[in-house]
Structure formats: C-alpha cells, structure tokens
Amino acid sequence: MRETDVLIVGGGPAGLGAAIAARQNGLRVLVADSGLPPIDKACGEGLMPDSLAALSALGVDLSEYETGRFLGIRFHHNGATIEAEFPRGEGLGIRRLLLHQALVTRVEETGAECAWGVRVSRFAPGAALVQGEWVHYRWLVGADGNESRVRRWAGLDGGRRASKRLGLRQHFGVQPWSPYVEIYWAEHAQAYVTPVSAHEVCVAVISRDRERSFDLTLFPELASRLGGYSPTTPVRGALTWSRRLTHVARGNVALIGEASGSVDAITGEGLAIGFRQAAALGKALACSDLRGYEVAHRRIMARPTFSSKAMLLMDRYPWARRRVFAACHSHRDLFRRMLALHVGDESLLALNRNGILGVSAELLLA
C-alpha cells in the first residue's frame, strides 16, 4: 500500500504542471498515466507570451529544445490581412513531443513520482487502484482530459457543452515565411501555421465538419505556400470542445486542464490555461482550500472564454468575419488591443474605457 499527498491522474501538460506546482508547495506527488513519455497530441504547438510566463513560473526550461519564434498574430481572409505584435515579449513554437519531454524533465527535478504505462482502474474516497495497487491520497486531481473518469466518479460532470469541433495537425519541412502565427479563415474552418523550428512549420486545421480530411484546398493561399513541400509527419487529429462545468472541485477532488472544462482550440490558449490553473491548484492544495481554487479557476477561464466566443462567432457567420476585418482596417489600433486582451496585457474594462469595445460592437451589429 502506497501513500501520497496528491495523486494526479493524467500526465499531460496540465497534470505535469499540477505536479510541479504541488511539489513547489512541499507536497508529495504521484502522477499516473497509461501512456509512455514523451506523449504526443494534436495541437497548434504555439506558446504565446502569457503561456511562456506561466511555464517560467513552474521552472520549465525550453532553451535546450528546437523551437521557432513568432512576434504576433496575422489573420488572412479572402486576400485581406490584419496583424498585430504582442505588447510584450514573443511567442514560441515547439513540437508537442518536445514540450512534454521538457515538462517530464522538470517534474523529475522536483522529486515528484511518475508511474507511466499504468491504469487507474478504481476510485474510492481517499484511495485509488493504480495498476492493481491501492494508493492512499489526501488529494485526488483529475487531469485526464475531456472524457475524464475522475470527473465522472466525483460527480462533477454538471455543466454546459457549447460546441465540439475536429482539429487536425501535420508538419511540413519548409522554412517559416512569416514572423507571425498565421491564421487562415475559410467557411467553418481555420488553418493555423506556427513555426516550430528554423526549417519546419506546424499546420493545424480546425473544422466543424468532423468527417473532413486534412484539406488545404479550403485555404488556397496557404496551399500555394506549401506547394512542393513534403509533410514531415502524418496527420494527427483530436476533438476540441467548448465546455463549462458548474464546479471543478468537490471534497478532496479537483479537476484541471480539459478535465475541468475547456475553450475551443481556436484561441490557442489551451496550454496556457492549464499552466495557470496548475499554479493556482498548487497553492490551494497547500492551504487545503479548494474553494479558493474554484474562484481562481473561474477567473482564469474568463478571458479565454470571451475570446473563444468572439472567434467562434467569426467561424459561424461570414458577416462577422467581414465586419471584424473591416473594423480592424478602419481602426488600426483595434486588432493590437484585442490581441493584448487575449494574452492578458489588457483588460476588458480598459478596452471599454477607451471605446474599443464600443467600436467593435457597433461594426459587428451594424
């Protein structure tokens, strides 16, 4: 029989972030995952400045890994472009496998224990069956994704699911042509291009059509850019959800990452959300205050949820895309301020005080 302060079910980025934060707060930690590291998953592979700041607070060092750098975001739609640079710092593109390896290395440095390739088959109050052995815990953390078994067992499934879309990812061996993450808009689909090294880009396509293949003909300008360049990886897919839970903690059980609710991958904020939640959860566990974690979790989710709703409106309605592009061309500061809000350098209150939200609403609703 084993004992630990914190049993974390799920060894993805959010679960490993929670392990690091719990160790930073002096707690014993065991992470259990059925996979073997490094673990891959389809994602856009871009870390914006707010995500890098959260990683830095966890002590994760990416300097030894191959990466690509980007200065901001550029939108493409029907031959028109709008772009803005981040208010502070720059973003980093990194292959998901390399990011996971960096997180595993940091977890090992902290002294957290990891059990890879194991199944957590049963849950009970204060104990869980890990690969046939009962592990007693003070705190149970569900970091086991959108279909979380911990969430179901703890009775935390209540909430609202707004949408579900398909994300597909593939890498191409081409030198990045832009200092930005580029987002190409089509009818009910977007393609994200993120530099992940000096000679490779990650292309992620998100669509409402869950039967659609990795079809770049939806994005003629991007297809032209990639013409003649061979993929360096096969297509990998994953579902992306918009889900809000009523509660993310009950008793001595807490949820983190996609297990705790999620925003659509269109925001590019999934990893940053998990890392910020990890820091909040580590402090809450050390203080035995999961109610405080609930409050922090709602605060962390507020800004990405706002961005997700706005961008999904653009995905759903052609008129919204047209008017956003028109607004940003008419008011040159608008896209920069909205990007600042997206990465946490601007508040909704400040945008409203400066009339930016009013301009946006007027043009969207005209």
Q: State pLDDT tens for residues 348-363.
A: 666 655 555 554 554 4
Q: Are 175 and 195 in contact (CB under 8 A)?
A: no
A 10 A CB-CB count for 348 gives: 13
Amino acid letter, 16: L
- Is residue 115 within 8 A of residue 131, CB to CB? The reply is yes
Q: Which three-class secondary structure string do you get for 153-201?
A: HCCCCCEEEEEEEEEEEEEECCCCCCCEEEEEEECCEEEEEEEEECCEE
How far are the Cα atoms of 136, 139, 275 from residue 120, in angstroms, in the given order?
13, 15, 23
Predicted TM-score (pTM) of the model is 0.94
Parallel/antiparallel/unpaired status of strands 72-77 and 80-85: antiparallel
Dihedral sign for Cα atoms in the order 85, 86, 90, 93: negative
pLDDT reported for residue 159: 87
Per-residue pLDDT tens listing for the chain (366 residues): 799 999 999 999 999 999 999 999 999 999 999 999 999 999 999 999 999 999 999 999 999 999 999 999 999 999 999 999 999 999 999 999 999 999 999 999 999 999 999 999 999 999 999 999 999 999 999 999 999 999 999 999 998 877 889 999 999 999 999 999 999 999 989 999 999 999 999 999 999 886 777 889 999 999 999 998 999 999 999 999 899 999 999 999 999 999 999 999 999 999 999 999 999 999 999 999 999 999 999 999 999 999 999 999 999 999 999 999 999 998 889 999 999 999 998 876 666 555 555 545 544 454
pLDDT of residue 359: 46
Q: Look at the alpha carbons of 290, 295, 298, 300 in this order and tell me if their dihedral is positive or negative.
A: negative
Residue 237, SS3 per DSSP: strand
Q: What share of the chain is helix, strand, coil (3-state, %, to 5)?
A: 40, 30, 30
Instruction: Output the DSSP codes for 67-131.
Output: -EEE-EEEEEETTEEEEEE-SSS-EEE--HHHHHHHHHHHHHHHT-EEEES--EEEEETTEEEET
Residues in the chain: 366
Total H helices, total E strands in the chain: 11, 18
Tokens of 97: 């496998």
Closest CA to 327 of 364, 274, 296: 364
CB distance 82 to 74 below 8 Å: yes
d(CA 17, CA 23): 10
Q: Which residues contact 282 (CB under 8 A, 6 or more apart)?
A: 18, 20, 21, 22, 24, 25, 27
